[in-house]
Amino acid sequence: MLKTTLLRLLEALATLLCATLLLFLLIRIAPGDPVQILLGRPGEAGVTDTAMQERQAAELRERLGLEDPVAVQYGRWMERLLRLDLGESIHTGRSVGAELAERLPATAALALAALAIQLALGLGLGIASALRAGGMSDQLIRIVCVVLASTPAFVLGLGLLLVFAVRLGMYEISSAATLARLWLPAATLGLIGAPQLIRVVRANLLSEFGQVYIVAARARGLGRGRLALHALRNSLASIVTVAALSLAALISGAVVIESLFAWPGVGKYALDSIMLKDYPVIQGYALVMIALMIGLHLAVELVYALLDPRIRRQGRRIRHDAV
Amino acid sequence: MTQSDGATGPLAGPAAAPRRIRIRAGRHAGLIGGCILLGLLALLIFGASFITPYDPLEQRIAERLQPPGLEHPLGTDRFGRDVLARTLHGGQYTLIASAAALGGALGIGLLIGLGAGMMHGTWIDALLMRIIDVLMSFPFMVLALVVAALLGTSLLHLLLAVVAVWWVAFARLARSVALQARQETSYAAARVLGASRIALLVKELLPRALGPVLILATFELGSLILSIAALSFLGLGAQPPAPEWGSMLADGRAHMLQAPHILAGPALFIVLTVLAFNLIGEGLRDRLDPYEQPGWQ
């Protein structure tokens, strides 16, 4: 187990390292001179003396180390990253790490609340439709799932806003991150993610129901509810995987919902920074999200090993398609 | 898309328990329904000029924010543009852009996946797999935001981001097909006969991979349309005044209080289009999935 864990940890670190390299190169090869962007920032624009501006640009290039070879620049950037220094925002001049840390709790609260809703719906409706496979309620759940899976999050969010904020006046439209404002965006995200989980729970339970041990248990006279619990225990691994991956999708995909509901999380911050062309923020945001994603994948593999003794012993590699 | 209708007969299979037949009929209903829905939508969208006389971009400020009526079946937006005309013409944007992005992702994915599979065991394959692993750790939304920040916001850049993310899924599938095909005698025969690498790729591997990859593509098209619409909604895709569904919804948001009806058209069309593709994709997958769901015995 320890060996497997260490191996996975190393692999995750290697992937993270490659991701930083890719991100660094992506930003380096992009058109647009960072010095121009820095000098053109609000408050310093309006420089008319071109010779003066060129001298400033050269100085800045020197100070930022942009004249050095790319490998040296990458090394310096990595060194700062290891000290958890993500640089400063061009717009506010504050540390990107601090700005992101301020907004992460709002995003985490939204994602966790959405995950809770998603799990409740996924387990409840998934078990219900597996128990009555082929019946009316199963068909109904299936139809609702297909329609819901075809609905963009922002369309559902707009619809819910229309009903609860405009018609019923039950939801306050503001930009505060309070509990009273959490339920509607969380419900939107939870509903959008639920169909996938319902489907996985249903499919897993159905394939367990076909196993010999369930037939034996039925022959001994166990009720369907008890059988579902037994089957659920055996399909836990894949349910945990889907839940963890959808948590990753919730955190990174929350951009749309945060923007729609004016929820002050990291996604909305990153989006606003794009409009301001605040590169360090985008870079920092992307890095944090990728690290989070890799961390969640790692956690899934370790939990998998804990849940399934066969993997613990063989260290078999689990592959799952990411979102 | 409609050619799959004809092939439904043989799969009805031998007589089984009554319940199973009902489930199977239901599955076909999804596939057929999806094809019909898609056909209808395509007819409406590409026949837009015959259905509504209005120009999707023409502004008539005097007629702004009108409720639905005989003149404008879905009302008018804040510039007095006809919402029906914008919705239908906007569909062309969405469908063509999604098809282009999918085509790009498919081409790159097939080429890299089959190439990697063919060179299995070499450092090229190992490197490509590593790149795929890394790209899979990039959440799509995050990469799209980075691309938009670096290149600026436009539909073309959005499509680039979509291609950059989506080819991975196709490459992985194509690679696994190529790995299987390498074991077969016909592949070995072609190699012994001195076929070049390109000939092997095009004649031996491509025909085998095309089927599964196209099915995956149908299945992915729905979520691809959702992603493009979501990013356009955020202002990272098609720019105004282009009539794209996502950006129309973002635009109509400001008038949600006075004129919520301007949201109805694009919202309905987006859901129906994705629904059509999802039904087709799911129907195809169910038909080709060899594993029957066992259920209670």
Q: What is the CATH number of the domain that holds B288?
A: 1.10.3720.10
Q: Is A119's pLDDT higher than 60?
A: yes
Which residues belong to CATH 1.10.3720.10 in chain A?
Answer: 101-322
Q: What is the pLDDT of residue A116?
A: 94
Q: Is residue B236 part of a domain?
A: yes
Q: Is A258's pLDDT higher than 80?
A: yes
pLDDT classification of B106: cutoffs 50, 70, 90? very high
Number of domains observed in the structure of chain B: 1
Q: Is residue B7 part of a domain?
A: no
State the Cα–Cα distance between residues B161 and B228, nearest whole angstrom: 10
Q: Is A316's pLDDT higher than 60?
A: no
State the Cα–Cα distance between residues A102 and A95, nearest whole angstrom: 11
pLDDT classification of A214: cutoffs 50, 70, 90? confident
Assigned CATH topology for domain A101-322: MetI-like fold (1.10.3720)
Span A235-240, mean pLDDT?
84
Residue A122: burial class (beta carbons within 10 Å; 0-12, 13-18, 19+):
buried
CB–CB of B30 and A252 under 8 A?
no
Q: What is the dihedral of CA A20, A21, A25, A28, to 10 degrees?
A: 60
List, for residues B40-65, the tens digit of each pLDDT value. 988 888 877 777 777 777 777 777 77
Contacts of B292 in chain A (CB under 8 A): none
Q: Is residue B158 part of a domain?
A: yes
Contacts of A252 in chain B (CB under 8 A): 139-142
Q: Which residue has the higher pLDDT, B250 or A56?
A: B250
Alpha-carbon gap: A304 to the closest alpha carbon of chain B (Å): 19
Q: Is residue B11 part of a domain?
A: no
List, for residues B268-292, the tens digit of each pLDDT value. 999 999 999 988 888 887 776 545 4
- If you average pLDDT over every residue of chain B, what do you get? 79
Span A192-217, mean pLDDT?
88
Q: What is the pLDDT of residue B21?
A: 44
Q: Is A204's pLDDT higher than 80?
A: yes
Q: What angle do CA A211, A212, A218 make, to 5 degrees?
A: 100
- If you average pLDDT over every residue of chain A, what do you get? 81
Q: What is the pLDDT of residue B208?
A: 83
Contacts of B267 in chain A (CB under 8 A): 155, 158-159
Span B234-254, mean pLDDT?
83
Contact criterion met (CB below 8 Å) for B162 and B227: yes
State the Cα–Cα distance between residues A250 and B18, nearest whole angstrom: 41
Q: What is the pLDDT of residue A190?
A: 92
3-class state of residue B162 by DSSP: helix
Contacts of B296 in chain A (CB under 8 A): 133, 209
Q: Is residue B25 part of a domain?
A: no
Span A43-56, mean pLDDT?
62
List, for residues B154-168, the tens digit of each pLDDT value. 888 888 888 988 898
State the Cα–Cα distance between residues A131 and A146, nearest whole angstrom: 19
CB–CB of B275 and A150 under 8 A?
yes
- Please report, as a single letter, which amino acid is at residue B153: T
Q: Is residue B17 part of a domain?
A: no
User: Which domain, by its residues, includes B264?
Assistant: 83-292
Q: What is the pLDDT of residue A311?
A: 61
Q: Which residue has the higher pLDDT, B142 or A41?
A: B142
Partners of residue B82 on adjacent β-strands: B76
3-class state of residue A25 by DSSP: helix
Q: For residue B241, say if its preceding peptide bond is cis, omega within 30 degrees of 0.
A: yes
Q: Which residue has the higher pLDDT, B28 or A74?
A: A74
Helices A2-29, B140-151: axis angle to 10 degrees equals 20
Q: Is residue B76 part of a domain?
A: no
Q: Is B246's pLDDT higher than 50?
A: yes
Segments in chain A forming alpha helices (H): 2-29, 34-39, 50-64, 70-82, 96-131, 136-149, 153-161, 179-209, 212-219, 224-234, 236-260, 266-275, 279-307, 309-314
Span B110-116, mean pLDDT?
90
CB–CB of A293 and B134 under 8 A?
no
ipTM of the modeled complex: 0.79
Q: In chain B, whose CA is at the least distance from the CA of A231?
A: B295
Q: Is residue B61 part of a domain?
A: no
Q: Is A126's pLDDT higher than 60?
A: yes
Q: Between chain A and chain B, how many beta carbons pairs sit less than 8 Å apart?
A: 155
Q: Tokens at residue A78, please?
A: 């990595």
Partners of residue A88 on adjacent β-strands: A95
Alpha-carbon gap: B67 to the closest alpha carbon of chain A (Å): 17
Interface test mutation site (partner A, options B38, B87, B132, B137, max chain A beta carbons within 10 A) = B137
CB–CB of A323 and B139 under 8 A?
yes
Measured distance between the N- and C-terminal CA atoms of chain B, rounded to whole angstroms: 36
List, for residues B198-221, the tens digit of each pLDDT value. 888 888 888 888 888 888 888 888
Ranking A108-122, A173-187, B9-23 by mean pLDDT, the lowest is: B9-23
State the Cα–Cα distance between residues A153 and A254, nearest whole angstrom: 9
Backbone angles phi, psi at B244, to 5 degrees: -105, 145
